Amino acid sequence: MYYKQQFANVLASKFNGVISEEEILFRIESPKQMNHGDLAFPCFELAKIKRKAPNKIAEEIASEIEDPLFEKVEAVGAYINVFLNKQKVSSQVIEKVLREKGEYGKLNLGNKGVVTIDMSSPNIAKPFSMGHLRSTVIGNALSLLLEKGDYKPVKINHLGDWGTQFGKLIVAYKRWGNEEKVKKDTIKELLKLYIIFHEQAEIDASLEDQGRLWFKKLESGDEEAIALWNWFKEESLIEFNRIYDLLGINFDSNDGEAFYNDKMNGMVEFLAEKKLLSNSDGAEVVDLSELNMPPCLIRKSDGATLYATRDLTAALYRQETYQFVQSLYVVGNEQSLHFQQLTEVLKKMGYNWANDMKHISFGMILKDGKKMSTRKGKLVLLEEVLTQAIDLAKQNIETKNPFMQNKESVAHAIGVGAVIFHDLKNHRNNDVEFSLEDMLRVEGETGPYVQYTYVRACSLLEKGEYTIKIDETVQLNDDQAWPIISKLMSFSQVIERALLTYDPSLIAKFTIDLAQAFNKYYGSVRVLQDDSHKYARLSLVYAVATVLQEGLRILGIEAPKEM
């Protein structure tokens, strides 16, 4: 943020090298209350160095500061508080948004470095449930944040298309499946069979052994096993792609676990060459006891590979293919140990780039306070939720704005946006309670509220017949607009913090705060009053609309111009 940097420059010149400009910049805060100023610097750390009380230091430095950008500088306790020149800064901020439009807030952090993002990654032959929503939308928002920070994201849909569960499903299909039913409604019927398998396995434990045997056959290239697996996969992808289209999300790679089948032997051989494999009850493992971790299972006693084998192979393939500067895994909290093991095994193999791999964990979506479970059939299907949300948005449009054009596309933007926003407004590590009613409210902290604010801004611009005049100075003589200007100023700072902490909820919260500040302004100022400041007020409205639209875009949400 330019003004923060300017304050740091001025302070550095007053401190005469006692504390570096970088440290000053790091310590500058935004006061919680606006009547305490726009920027504040705490002097506690300087007390020992200068051998003075921090409040005395604050008083001395505050009295020495003069800068045309600062309206007032005062000492409050141990803090140096700065009030920015509202008129000057308001003009600069609005003019910057008018010039840069959607580029406003862009950061030069990544230098086009590649960041791979392992995201979404549903299991084939199972429905795409609400449980898969979080990885999908968090991963997508992170990719858009990374682009905004000048990185090159590579979105990877690492499909769960391999593993013992497919042996179980083959057993279930062969025992209880009906070809005609499965062809008619593949995913729903396969889910029923998967649930039946686990119910019956509690009665007959030998079913688990049969499942493992059929997965071993699949790995060995058994024709019947391969044919059934291919069928399950093709049908699943048709359903998944329909849902990704609804969400407006695409991928750079759909290489799932099975893609690495012909590469895993090389990984196991390399681990053996490095003398990292040991035997544990017939299975091959990498011992991690010196790190107080359980062993990392590489190959079972029957020769079948495991989740870890495939992820190690995938990590190496991605580094060789993309030369990533970071590799993100957007996977639930419960997989934390797995990713710790993965990183440590790669480091033992001599791959220091393993330190650039990060597990972006997240909490669960709960239904009535409980975890959704595929095995027990306690599912809320994502496609049904999205369709319901779109239908409800359509009903609201028919009631409130029946003559609207493009009803279908607007209802889609509102419905899908509501579902995405409801997820992303929560910190990713928190559990989220599923509630369609809460998602679609136009009041409160919801996607429709932010979208409606954008619509209101667009309507004002249209009524005011606003056109940008880039060469004209924006003279906004309006103290009531300052909370909006303060928010607009902080946009790049919020983007940077969201990027460094992998937390899209900061962007969602920012859009809510900006929308609330704008609606308060709208309620107290006659924006369209025909006076000498009308252009400046409408330029402020344009800046708000631009930044709200960009904030929603980073979250993967459309901003319709009418609702």
pLDDT, tens digit, for every residue of 394-434? 999 999 989 898 999 999 999 999 999 999 999 999 998 87
Sequence-separated (6 or more) residues with CB below 8 Å from residue 453: 515, 518, 519, 544, 548
Distance CA 517, CA 480 (A): 10
State which amino acid sits at residue 251.
F
Say whether pLDDT at 1 is over 70: no
Alpha carbon dihedral 397, 403, 405, 407, in 10-degree steps, equals: 20
Pick the CATH number of 2-84 from 3.30.1360.70, 3.40.630.30, 3.30.360.10, 2.40.400.10: 3.30.1360.70
Residue range 525-537: mean pLDDT, rounded: 94
Q: Where are the domains of the chain?
A: 2-84, 114-258+304-371, 382-554
The pLDDT-based confidence of 305 (bands split at 50, 70, 90) is: confident
Level-2 CATH architecture, domain 114-258+304-371:
3-Layer(aba) Sandwich (3.40)
Alpha carbon dihedral 168, 171, 176, 179, in 10-degree steps, equals: 100
Tokens standing for residue 475: 């003279």
pLDDT, tens digit, for every residue of 32-44? 888 889 999 999 9
Say whether pLDDT at 29 is over 60: yes
Res 441: pLDDT: 80
Number of helices and strands in the chain (H, E): 22, 13
Q: Are 547 and 105 in contact (CB under 8 A)?
A: yes
Res 18: pLDDT: 86
Question: Which of 160-174, 373-387, 448-462 is predicted least confidently?
Answer: 373-387
Distance CA 50, CA 19 (A): 11
The pLDDT-based confidence of 372 (bands split at 50, 70, 90) is: low
Residue range 241-258: mean pLDDT, rounded: 95
Say whether pLDDT at 380 is over 90: no
Q: Percentage of the chain surpassing pLDDT 90?
A: 77
Distance CA 560, CA 541 (A): 16
Tell me the pLDDT of the chain averaged across its residues: 93
Residue range 494-523: mean pLDDT, rounded: 97
Tokens standing for residue 158: 């690492």
pLDDT, tens digit, for every residue of 110-141? 999 999 999 999 998 888 888 789 999 999 99
Residue range 46-56: mean pLDDT, rounded: 91
The pLDDT-based confidence of 325 (bands split at 50, 70, 90) is: very high
Say whether pLDDT at 537 is over 80: yes
- 253 by Cβ neighbours in 10 Å (0-12 / 13-18 / 19+) ranks as middle
Separation in Å, CA 176 to CA 166, 179, 375: 15, 10, 16
Separation in Å, CA 164 to CA 68, 171, 218: 69, 11, 9
Say whether pLDDT at 367 is over 80: no
Residue range 435-445: mean pLDDT, rounded: 81
More confident: 247 or 282: 247
Q: What are the backbone angles phi and psi of residue 381, rounded to the nearest 5°?
A: -80, 130
Distance CA 560, CA 440 (A): 15
Say whether pLDDT at 473 is over 90: no
Res 137: pLDDT: 98
More confident: 359 or 400: 359
Pick the CATH number of 382-554 from 3.40.462.10, 1.10.730.10, 2.40.50.140, 3.40.50.300: 1.10.730.10
Q: Are 561 and 455 in contact (CB under 8 A)?
A: yes
Q: Are 256 and 161 in contact (CB under 8 A)?
A: yes
Res 317: pLDDT: 97
- 52 by Cβ neighbours in 10 Å (0-12 / 13-18 / 19+) ranks as middle
Q: Percentage of the chain surpassing pLDDT 70?
A: 98
Say whether pLDDT at 373 is over 60: no
Count of C-beta atoms within a 10 Å radius of residue 537: 24
State which amino acid sits at residue 434.
F
